Amino acid sequence: MRAEFVIREMTIADYDPVRELLRSVPGVTLRSADSPEATGRYLARNPGLSFVALAGERAGEQIVGCVMCGQDGRRGYLQHLAVEPGSRRLGIGTALVERSLAALRLLGIEKTHIDVLTDNTQAQEYWAKLGWRKRSDLVRYSFTNSADPNA
């Protein structure tokens, strides 16, 4: 059975329903950097790269999936891919990823990364199934430029 869903570019007007979706999905961590202001800056800096999936009776009534995507001129970065648990295994996540990768390709971005929490084995299996390669040749370090431990 093919699910009816529509994918469109994410806008800041989608912030509240996307945040609620992200909160409902196990394995997704939200931080202070996911504030409305920071999300607005992210979307403005990376136009045409982040998407939402809408589904419902007329395929467009409720946000059931999202992906945030950005780039630095050399590499692409996927963040917060999430599909509402009741809408999984319908091709929504894969369609969102493909849409972001196609948009990056148009910008000349050939390589894209995603960070997955080490204890999120379901996400690790998903990315491996899509053909993404787990990196063992690097370790990520982070620096926080504020006193906010949740930055």
* pLDDT tens profile 50-78: 999 998 765 557 999 999 999 999 999 99
pTM, two decimal places: 0.89
- H helix or E strand, kind and range, residue 3: none
What domains lie within the chain, and their CATH numbers?
5-129 (3.40.630.30)
* Strands in the chain per DSSP E: 5-9, 51-55, 62-71, 75-83, 111-114
In this structure, what is the dihedral angle of CA atoms 23, 13, 111, 5, given to the nearest 10 degrees?
80
Is residue 48 within 8 Å of 103, Cβ to Cβ? yes
The residue that leads in pLDDT, 105 or 56, is 105
